Structure 1
């Protein structure tokens, strides 16, 4: 009897472990060894799935370290009505909060917002600064309480605007993050508009902001956590799905 060398034995063991040779039987001596049944792939820890309703182009704009995202989905490109959902990222994936009705700009949405176009900007924007006419409800965001948040008059449908800025959160579109929502610095230029806020819904279309019912604005202020790098993802359904 010939004893195989250690090198030959190691080679035979390697072939068995790696499955070389496809479906052909591997033999050692006279005894055939049947083909190995492939094992199911091992599932490793993976990153949570992307936010629902977002296509690859939109999802790619969401910062990797974001753990909170308010997704505002418009009914249509030219619609002033939308729905907002606050998502929080956990080890199990993105967990959705309640669905809140919302208003956006009178003429809907645009990829390139301009001053006075009456459309809300489409995109992914950070949320870091808040304020309002009322006292801070307890948000973890920097909060600027000021009488400058007073507003009067009526909206596009004749609804009173009073109280719309009782609570606001600045959307970081064409503004300097880390400043009061009242700061009017426009890094992209005045013609690109600005002053885009999340604020209390006055019951009608806006000039470019997103309006949420007062209880929902307060709940949002209490929920947002700067350590979770919150953003707002906003636009009509078709645009967000790109």
Structure 2
């Protein structure tokens, strides 16, 4: 069964030999000292790069082993660094991956919401709901709808998405909101990380909440 899975992932372009070879030393390409057993690394060449290399790693008794990748990912049009509301930088650092959403029915093992036009991500810095999901009918929401994302109205990018827990506990108003790992539109993002649809599906199916997965974003 495992051999058939590897063959399928190779066909989809989400598993390649170089990633396994790079994992021989059992270490990650970015510093990490947490207790997650699944880590997705996103490494850009420099602070202004708008593409990065994404690899999904599993902790084993002998070190870290690459399981998906290396994959081409898009990051923010402002590169990688300190994010803030209104910037287009992807936030550098380590962020938990605890939930997912999308236009399509549930997939994978993370808690998942199938969204429609009553689902929002609040980016109104004056709202008590800043940087949280909220459900309300358009025109009847208790926040500035223009300063938020109607998740159901976003195109294919949100066919599948995983929430990055950046600025969520505690929430700092103005530090930035709505950062996701989502389907690529083949261009830099507004601060999220994106992958091609087959690769995104593979990552979503790989993520296991019991492994306390995180995404680790930085420069290499």
Same fold (TM over 0.5): yes
8 Å contact from structure 1 (residues 151, 163) kept in 2: no
Aligned to 1:94, which of 54, 64, 67? 64
Deviation of residue 120 (structure 1)? 0.6
Deviation of residue 175 (structure 1)? 2.0
8 Å contact from structure 1 (residues 199, 212) kept in 2: yes
SS of residue in 2 equivalent to 1:164: helix
Deviation of residue 230 (structure 1)? 0.5
Once the two structures are superposed, the pairs formed by residues 51-66 of structure 1 within 5 Å of their partners are 51-54=27-30, 58-59=31-32, 62-63=33-34, 65-66=35-36
Moved over 6 A (4+): none
In the alignment, which residue of structure 1 is the partner of 2:10? none
In the alignment, which residue of structure 2 is the partner of 1:107? 78
Is there any run of 5+ residues in structure 2 with no aligned partner, and where? Answer: 1-23, 120-150
Residues matched between the structures, number:
163
Deviation of residue 91 (structure 1)? 1.3
Deviation of residue 74 (structure 1)? 1.1
Q: 1:89–1:145: structure 2 CA closer, same or farther, 3 Å change rule?
A: same
Larger Rg: 1
The answer on 1:76 being equivalent to 2:78 is: no
RMSD: 1.8
In the alignment, which residue of structure 1 is the partner of 2:217? 234
Higher relative contact order (CA 8 A, sep 6+): 2
Aligned to 1:208, which of 166, 191, 205? 191
TM-score, normalization by structure 2: 0.70
8 Å contact from structure 1 (residues 70, 231) kept in 2: yes
8 Å contact from structure 2 (residues 94, 216) kept in 1: yes
Is there any run of 5+ residues in structure 1 with no aligned partner, and where? Answer: 1-47, 153-161, 177-185, 238-242
TM-score, normalization by structure 1: 0.64
8 Å contact from structure 2 (residues 77, 88) kept in 1: yes
8 Å contact from structure 2 (residues 26, 62) kept in 1: no
